[in-house]
Structure formats: structure tokens, C-alpha cells
Amino acid sequence: MREILTVLESDAHASAERIATLTGIDEATVREHIAAWEASGVIRRYKTVVDWDRFGDQRVTAFVDVTVAPERGRGFDDVAERIARFREIRAVHLVSGAQDLRVEVEGDSMKEVADFVAQKLSGVDRVTATSTHFLLRRYKDDGQLLTDPEPDQRLSVTP
């Protein structure tokens, strides 16, 4: 059944019929599993990986290392969840190392991202320090290489 998810992960709009053909699992079973996974949260949502640079959008992304003071009994959970709720935040991860949280922030301009970090993120209760790294270029995202594919150099017919 894992195979159904593998197909969906690479092609979110694959139909049940197509998935059935590709996996050899009958269509009704495919539908049943997808419905169950949608209900249980195994499938969180259907996503399209967009190369916004190629589209021409001038979006700005920054990775912000955040140091926080953990809370007795809740550790990092409360503050991480509070930070995660901001619209500007695309990802929040608790990481090992010198900082505690690694946060991905997105905005329409560097100023917007900088203002958000300075005024909102830094001001969150228990946030003690931030270190911001602006993204200069994306080469791979979500497991997807964003560079041009290598041209097929195979001959048309080979033994």
C-alpha cells in the first residue's frame, strides 16, 4: 500500500484509476486507502512544488536560527507552536546544535522579512536570540532538483 503514497507523492493529481494501473492494486482499494489516509492525517494535503524563481516571482526566503528559553513542563512545544502560527513562517523545526529552532520565513521583500524577524519573531515571549540567513538561490527543494535536467544523451536505438 506504501506504493500508492509513493505515486501520489510524485504526482499529487494522479487519479485512482491511474494509480491502480501503476501499482497493480485494484481501483476500489486505492480509493479506500486514500480516503482513510486523508481522514487520519497520513495525507496532510496535496502539494505542487513550484519553482517561483523560474515563474518570475520575486519572493524572499530566510532561514532564521532561533534561541529560546524552554518552559518547565512543556519544553520547546509552546513557543514553537506560537511561532509556527505566523503567516510568514513556512516551516519550524527543533534542531540540535547551538540554536534551538530553525525557522523558514517568506516574504515579498527583504524588508518585509527583516521587519517580521525584528518586530514579531524576536518579540515572541521566551525568544532570546535570532540569527537570519537569507536564501540566495534554491538548487533542490522538497527532494526535487530545481536545476535543468541533464539532456538525454542516449542514442535512439541501442542493443
Residues near another protein, by CB under 8 A: 3, 6-7, 21-24, 150, 152, 154-159
CA atoms within 13 A on the CB side of 20: 11
Question: Could you give the C-alpha distances from 145 to 55, 73, 135, in angstroms and in order?
Answer: 16, 41, 16
142 vs 150, beta carbon nearer another protein: 150
Q: With contact defined as beta carbons under 8 Å apart, do 63 and 56 qualify?
A: no
Q: With contact defined as beta carbons under 8 Å apart, do 122 and 88 qualify?
A: no
What single-letter DSSP state applies at residue 98?
S
Q: With contact defined as beta carbons under 8 Å apart, do 60 and 113 qualify?
A: yes
Q: With contact defined as beta carbons under 8 Å apart, do 91 and 135 qualify?
A: no
Nine-digit cell string for 22: 501503476
Q: In the bound complex, what is the minimum distance in angstroms from residue 111's beta carbon to another protein?
A: 38
96 vs 158, beta carbon nearer another protein: 158
Q: In the bound complex, what is the minimum distance in angstroms from residue 33's beta carbon to another protein?
A: 17
4 vs 68, beta carbon nearer another protein: 4
6 vs 144, beta carbon nearer another protein: 6
Report the candidate in 111, 64, 62 with the shortest Cα–Cα distance to residue 83.
Answer: 64
Q: In the bound complex, what is the minimum distance in angstroms from residue 7's beta carbon to another protein?
A: 7
Q: In the bound complex, what is the minimum distance in angstroms from residue 153's beta carbon to another protein?
A: 9
Q: In the bound complex, what is the minimum distance in angstroms from residue 144's beta carbon to another protein?
A: 14
41 vs 149, beta carbon nearer another protein: 149
